[in-house]
C-alpha cells in the first residue's frame, strides 16, 4: 500500500520519505527487492568454486530474460489471435527506424500484417 503524505511534484521534490513500504534503504531497493534477489546467490563460504557466483549470475539473469520473452510472446499471441496485428507491435517498431527496412517494417504494422 502506498503512503499518503508529501510526494514529489513538478514544483517541489521531497525524496526524504519513502513511497513504497517494505525492507530496503531506498524505494529502488524496495521495488526490486534487492535484498531477496541478492540472497539467492550463495555466500562466499558456500561456494565450491571461485567462478560459482559468475555462473549463478549469468544463468539467473538468463532465466529472467527468458521469462520476459515468454511474457512478450504470450501478449503478442493474444493480440494476433484477436486480429489486432498492429496492437501486437505496441509501439516497439522504433527499433526498426535505424534499419534500412524501416519503411517496410512500419508500413507492415500499419497494414496489420506480420508477413514481410
Beta carbons of 38 and 57 less than 8 angstroms apart: no
pLDDT tens per residue across span 33-82: 999 999 999 999 999 999 999 999 999 999 999 999 999 999 999 999 99
* Distances, alpha carbon 89 to alpha carbons 2, 94, 109, in Å: 32, 10, 7
Rounded Cα distance, 2 and 30, in Å: 12
Segments making up each domain of the chain, as ranges: 1-39
- Region of 45 please: left (phi>0), alpha (psi -120 to 50) or beta: alpha
Phi and psi of 6, rounded to 5°?
-60, 135
pTM of the shown model: 0.59
Residue 109: count of CB within 10 angstroms of its CB:
20
Amino acid at each position: 500500500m502506498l503512503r499518503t503524505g508529501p510526494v514529489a511534484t513538478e514544483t517541489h521534490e521531497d525524496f526524504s520519505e519513502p513511497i513504497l513500504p517494505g525492507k530496503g534503504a531506498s524505494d529502488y531497493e524496495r521495488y526490486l527487492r534487492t535484498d531477496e534477489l541478492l540472497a539467492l546467490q550463495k555466500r562466499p563460504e558456500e561456494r565450491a568454486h571461485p567462478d560459482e557466483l559468475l555462473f549463478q549470475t549469468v544463468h539467473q539473469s538468463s532465466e529472467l530474460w527468458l521469462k520476459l520473452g515468454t511474457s512478450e510472446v504470450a501478449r503478442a499471441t493474444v493480440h494476433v489471435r484477436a486480429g489486432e496485428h498492429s496492437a501486437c507491435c505496441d509501439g516497439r517498431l522504433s527499433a526498426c527506424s535505424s534499419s534500412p527496412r524501416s519503411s517496410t517494417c512500419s508500413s507492415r504494422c500499419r497494414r496489420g500484417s506480420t508477413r514481410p
